[in-house]
């Protein structure tokens, strides 16, 4: 819980950084043009994020307009999560028609990816951890009470009556 959050992830090798106004309006969101496939992009970021147990969540592309930014075009949207900590959202747009092709500085790119980093606050993480631990111990204590009562039931008599 108290380990520092990782820095913003680095782009894939040979990626072209986007300086479009929508892509640089916040330091927690960056966009790149790349020739990597979806799986290569996700594995690239998973390698940088795997120092703790990581969940990989898949969202419908329509959610990108809510999670990444309104008017974001999307072919896929995935999230890499350290539970109860930070997340990295990976949005990819792969052109499907000639009108959508991505050309930058005379080079054609296979897709545009947008990375959104959602950090977590250390105080919040510690408070959630403490409350979760307290709830776990409370439930465990109640479970022990129920188990003790369950053991007191005369099961042999009940079974004998049932089979008579």
Q: What is the mean pLDDT of the chain?
A: 91
Q: What is the dihedral of CA 127, 133, 137, 138, to 10 degrees?
A: 40
% of the chain at pLDDT higher than 90 = 69
Residue 51's pLDDT band (cuts 50, 70, 90):
confident
Q: Supply φ then ψ for residue 143, to 5 degrees.
A: -65, -40
Q: What is the pLDDT of residues 111-131, one digit of tens each?
A: 999 999 998 888 888 898 899
4 or 96, greater pLDDT? 96
Q: What is the pLDDT of residues 23-46, one digit of tens each?
A: 999 999 999 999 999 999 999 999
Residue 1's pLDDT band (cuts 50, 70, 90):
low
- CA distances (Å), 93 to each of 35, 37, 73, 82, 104, in order? 12, 11, 6, 24, 15
Residue 158's pLDDT band (cuts 50, 70, 90):
confident
């Amino acid at each position: 819980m108290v380990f520092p959050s990782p820095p913003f992830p680095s782009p894939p090798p040979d990626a072209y950084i986007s300086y479009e106004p929508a892509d640089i309006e916040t330091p927690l969101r960056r966009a790149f043009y790349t020739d990597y496939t979806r799986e290569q992009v996700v594995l690239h970021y998973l390698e940088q994020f795997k120092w703790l147990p990581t969940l990989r969540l898949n969202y419908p592309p329509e959610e990108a307009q809510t999670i990444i930014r309104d008017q974001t075009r999307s072919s896929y949207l995935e999230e890499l999560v350290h539970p109860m900590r930070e997340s990295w959202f990976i949005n990819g747009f792969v052109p499907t028609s000639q009108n959508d092709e991505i050309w930058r500085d005379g080079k054609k790119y296979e897709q545009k990816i947008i990375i959104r980093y959602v950090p977590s606050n250390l105080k919040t993480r510690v408070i959630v951890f403490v409350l979760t631990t307290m709830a776990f111990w409370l439930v465990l204590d109640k479970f022990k009470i129920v188990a003790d009562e369950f053991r007191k039931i005369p099961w042999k008599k009940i079974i004998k009556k049932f089979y008579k």
